[in-house]
Amino acid sequence: MVRYARELIHDGRLGEITHFRGRFLVDYGSNPQGVLSWRFQKETSGSGTLGDIMSHVVDLAHMLVGRIGRVVSHQKTFITDRPLATAGEGTHFSVGSDGPRGEVTNEDYVGALVQFGNGAPGTLEVCRVVKGHDCELAFEINGTKGALRWNFERMNEIELRLPEAGAEYDGFTVVRAGPRHPQFADFYPGPGNGMSYEDLKMIEAYQFAKSIRGGPQHEPSFSDALAVTEVQEAMMRSWESESWEHVVAGN
């Protein structure tokens, strides 16, 4: 459905893109007794939510709207210490005891205002300790002709509003994945059958193998990954300067 959203945008169905709002809100770290795994330690993982989940939001934004040109960002750590983890055991969902605790050395939250290269404004927000959200990777996009929104927690649906397409689309309409959407028919012949996360991974593996066999570079490429990293670096610079930063230093 994300690829379908991209098709609608590239075909001009939404008109000129005027707004992008992207977020990835999860609560795996919301329990203060959650152990101090490597994800919470700068010396082991580097950044916190910036690298862990903001990377996904930036990647989606680039895929759908285009490259980000400049950002202003801030970060916050809500839970500053956690129970020490037992080496070699558990995951970042594990809960510790009332024993020794250690310092959390990277960020729980990152928020940003962005401006895309085409001039459109956007907001990006991620958090790993927010209550009430399991795995809400989501976006909302507005254009001069319509709007759409999608949420990973309901990944087989997209909500569309296209007033110029007729009265039935003058209000958000739920569109469920079906054979007319990208690669759905390769898995299911009829609509309403929910594709799984594993199906998406199969598509990724297929596209990767196809690229190797056929030669041409498919998306995403290393240059796409580098573009995400450049946005992350600009956000970190903005934490220090407390001002807008161009994505590539010196531009």
Sign of CA dihedral 57, 59, 60, 62: positive
* Residue-level pLDDT at 251: 43
For residue 227, how many other CB atoms are within 10 A of its CB?
18
| Residue among 229, 169, 219, 220 nearest 14 (CA) | 169
The CA distances from residue 155 to 13, 54, 122, 174, 193, in Å, are 21, 19, 22, 12, 12
CATH topology (fold) of 2-193+228-246: Dihydrodipicolinate Reductase; domain 2 (3.30.360)
Q: Are strands 121-127 and 17-26 parallel, antiparallel or unpaired?
A: parallel
Whole-angstrom distance, CA of residue 103 vs CA of residue 97 = 15
Hey, is 212 helix, strand or coil?
helix
Q: Are strands 101-103 and 81-83 parallel, antiparallel or unpaired?
A: antiparallel
Q: What contacts 219, CB < 8 A, 6 or more positions away?
A: 63
| Residue among 106, 98, 133 nearest 24 (CA) | 133
* Residue-level pLDDT at 174: 94
Q: Which two tokens stand for residue 219?
A: 């998306």
| Residue among 26, 231, 242, 241 nearest 122 (CA) | 231
- 78 and 109 in contact (C-beta within 8 Å)? yes
Q: What is the mean pLDDT of each run of 10 residues along the chain (251 residues)?
A: 96 97 96 93 95 97 97 98 85 81 97 97 98 95 97 96 79 93 92 91 91 84 94 98 86 43
Q: Are strands 109-116 and 121-127 parallel, antiparallel or unpaired?
A: antiparallel
Whole-angstrom distance, CA of residue 239 vs CA of residue 196 = 37
- 20 and 168 in contact (C-beta within 8 Å)? no
* Residue-level pLDDT at 250: 44
Question: How wide is the angle at C-alpha 202 spanned by C-alphas 205 and 50, nearest 5°?
Answer: 75
* Residue-level pLDDT at 224: 93
- 8 and 173 in contact (C-beta within 8 Å)? no
* Residue-level pLDDT at 249: 54
Question: How wide is the angle at C-alpha 131 spanned by C-alphas 126 and 135, nearest 5°?
Answer: 55
